[in-house]
Amino acid sequence: MASATVLSPPMPVYLEAPMRLTSTLFALFVVALLAATGGPAMAQGGNPAVTDEGNNIYLVDGTKEPIPNLLPAEEVVKIARLQGETGNASQFLLSRISPDGKTVFVLGNGPGAFITLEDGTSVPWTVPGDLGGSLTNRFWLDDNTLAVYALSTRTAQPTLFTWDRRTGEGRALGSLPATNQIPVFASGDGHKVLLASVPPLNPANPGAALVASLVDRGGERTGLTPQAPAGTRARALLDFAELFDPVGAGIAVVRIGSVLSVLDTVTGERREVAQLGPGTSVGEVSFSQDGSQFAVVLTVVGVDTPRGFDGALMSDLVYRDVTGNLPPAESPWLQGNQLVLLDFASGAVRTMRAADGDGAVFVGVSWSTDNRTLMTHMEMPAQLRGRRYPLYVPQYLSSAHLRFWDAASLKEIRRLERSEIDATFGLMQAQFVSPDEVIIESQKRLDRRPYYYNLRSGEFRDLADRAGKYVSIRASNQSRELVFVYTSYTDPPELYRMRWDGTGLARLTWDNEALRQYSRTKQQPVSFTLRDGTSHSGVLITPADAPFPPRNLPIIVWQEGGPATSLSNEWLSLVESPFGLLPNFGFGVLVVPLYGRSGPSPSASRPCTKAATTARSTSTPRPRSWPRCARRAGQARSASWAARTAATSSTRASRATPPPTTPPTPCARWSTSSPSGAAASPP
């Protein structure tokens, strides 16, 4: 949820006059808002563009009259520069690292480009004229050739497009035979492709939707290629293929059913994997490194209709689940959740059902590079005080952990449960990078950090050396290096690399360096105590020259809506997320993962077993009936939307103070320096 609404001109903007904000702060927000909409700032009194609607509400309509600025011209320019460059301050890794460990494909400030990992040099790619929307992930055919299956605007057929990393030139290599199956996911070398059947074209309704409840989540397949117009067959196929996008998978469901099969592109052999009935949600899909093994997480939830009679934006099943009135035996999110495995050579298909386990559901899956071990990402339901049954709606699952299975017998051999990696709802991802080593990316309080885990030795290590957000992590088996995007409240995103042991950090791109230098801010970890005695930790963002502890500095306590999204330490200078905006105008911004935001309470640091397993809770109170330290972190976290929202609105924060030198509670752990403290300067 945003703190302000941005509308595109020339639409009028409604603003409610603030009661207690200073005039300078109000003017800053209004100018930022109207700068974002492309118009000038709001004027006071007598301007035809401003209409008093009563009750402190004004209609600002820049189509009637130009609106004079409230701030000096140099401050308007400063806002425009901070916000204008924000639109280009982005980096996304859109491929794995090339087989020789030398190149990765990146979308940054401009067209996509091939980045050389040794020195950061880039080669821009060219978009073939007939390239439509992408149907699959991108994969490497060899050291120099990147490929993707996409719709051809010329033939309207799934087509293999390739690019040469040395020149950036792309071309259509050839179309697949016209069938009722389309490619939706490919193995790392492209030798195996997951196909999904779709109904034949209906001339009377060519754009008939193939999925229900699709949410535009900006996955790995968007942003580079043209998107087909709504209501067309091409758009329906692209929306269907997006079900298998690894980013945010599982948000939509199949409307008409589908048959999944794996195709060997070299031999032409095909193996059927599963039949998806209407209402099936697709989770993570994974090929083993050699393509011989395949896995997919499926959940059959049904196409449930909204309740309607009270205007709630949830279905009857969702309503019963989140109120604790849906028995697990009737929960589609538990009963319909399964992991389907395929051995391509034999064609054998095996299934693991969550309902046959201990209550955890399958979310993700990864194969070890020798195919001997299977790793599953599991999430636990929330169990709320006063509720009869646990909550299984994915948005409110309580905690995550990793389980390791012998691939031949499917017997569990190890379980990794730690508070550092128990983030849910897409905030934790893990991948095997060798027969025994795993790289994990997970949200921890305000930071998203990389972790290393060795299955054989049990070693677990935080690889981050500074506060911030590490995303799009890619691993190279050749160089034993990680490539990732790093950003923080004070650092626009850039591309970095480092070794698997956390050493050798090197910056690869400088696309947003001018913006970083222009923005003069800093961040400091803080802790504070509410009037009810509850302690919280957070980050205080201030002007670069402000002293710490702050003196005579106006501080804005920043909170956003929820309850399922995360509040992350990342570069943003928008009206809705002004972390890089307000501190540049003399304001401090105190950011805390309050009730309803992802982030564990201090009690999450208490070890629960000799294996350093830790339990986690959010800032919501722990029910008296729960154990003080649970083995499964899912038993120690509340996920009630109503409770979180109510708590958020009633929270009152005192003035920020430096972190205490001793923990305020037996479970608390505090730090005032990197990596969990202030972000270090980029190398």
pLDDT in tens, 185-221: 999 999 999 999 998 877 888 777 787 754 444 444 5
What would the two tokens of residue 81 be? Answer: 């520069």
Token pair, residue 357, equals 């386990």
The yes-or-no verdict on residue 36 having pLDDT over 70 is no
Whether pLDDT at 642 is above 80:
no
Give φ, ψ of 674 to 5 degrees: -60, 145
Contact 457, 425 (CB under 8 A): no
Q: How confident is the model at residue 645 (pLDDT cuts 50, 70, 90)?
A: very low
What pLDDT, on the 0 to 100 scale, is given for residue 3?
36
| pLDDT computed for residue 29 by the predictor | 54
Q: What is the pLDDT of residues 345-390, one digit of tens each?
A: 999 999 999 999 999 999 999 999 999 999 999 999 999 889 999 9
How high is the pLDDT of residue 41?
41
Q: Would you say residue 412 has pLDDT above 60?
A: yes
CB–CB of 516/130 below 8 Å?
A: no
With contact defined as beta carbons under 8 Å apart, do 565 and 596 qualify? Answer: no
Who has greater pLDDT, 179 or 361? 361
Residue 33: pLDDT over 80: no
Do 93 and 146 contact (CB within 8 A), yes or no?
no
Q: Look at residues 518, 453, 452, 511 and name the one whose alpha carbon lies nearest to residue 487.
A: 511
Distance, CA of 380 to CA of 524 (rounded, Å): 33
pLDDT at 663 over 60: no
Question: What pLDDT sits at residue 574?
Answer: 86
Share of the chain above pLDDT 90, in %: 48
CA–CA distance, 239 with 219 (Å, rounded to integer): 11
Amino acid identity at 438? V
DSSP secondary structure, 88-115, as one string: T---EE-SPPPTTSSEEEEE-SSSEEEE
Please name every residue paired with 557 in a beta bridge, in sequence order, or none if there are none: 590
pLDDT for the residue numbered 594? 65
Span 491-518, pLDDT tens digits: 999 999 999 999 999 999 998 898 999 9
Enter the tokens of residue 314: 């949830």
ω into 563 cis (within 30 of 0): yes
Higher pLDDT among residues 108 and 235, named by residue: 235
Predicted confidence (pLDDT) per residue in 535-577, tens digit: 888 999 999 999 999 999 999 988 765 555 678 999 998 888 8
Contact 496, 506 (CB under 8 A): yes
pLDDT, the chain, mean: 78
pLDDT of residue 662: 32
Query: What is the pLDDT confidence band of residue 246, given thresholds at 50, 70 and 90?
Result: low
Q: What is the pLDDT of residue 281?
A: 86
Query: SS3 helix, strand, coil % of the chain, rounded to 5?
Result: 15, 35, 55
pLDDT band at 226 (very low <50, low <70, confident <90, very high): low
pLDDT-derived band of residue 61, with 50, 70 and 90 as boundaries?
confident
Tell me the pLDDT band of 657, cut-offs 50, 70 and 90: very low
Enumerate the H helices of 144-187 as residue ranges: none
Q: Decide which of 510 and 632 is more confident.
A: 510
Instruction: Provide mean pLDDT across the span 76-99.
Output: 80
pLDDT attached to residue 535: 82
Sequence-separated (6 or more) residues with CB below 8 Å from residue 331? 321, 389, 392
pLDDT at 640 over 80: no
pLDDT at 311: 52
| pLDDT digit string, tens, across residues 439-482 | 999 998 899 999 999 999 999 999 999 999 999 999 998 899 99
More confident residue, 399 or 35: 399
Number of C-beta neighbours around residue 3 at 10 A: 14
**pLDDT higher than 80, residue 397:** yes
In this structure, what DSSP letter does residue 199 have?
Answer: P
Length of the chain: 683
328 has pLDDT over 50: yes
Q: Indicate the pLDDT class of residue 58, thresholds 50, 70 and 90.
A: confident
Section 624-629 average pLDDT: 27
Q: Residue 485 phi/psi, 5° resolution?
A: -100, 130
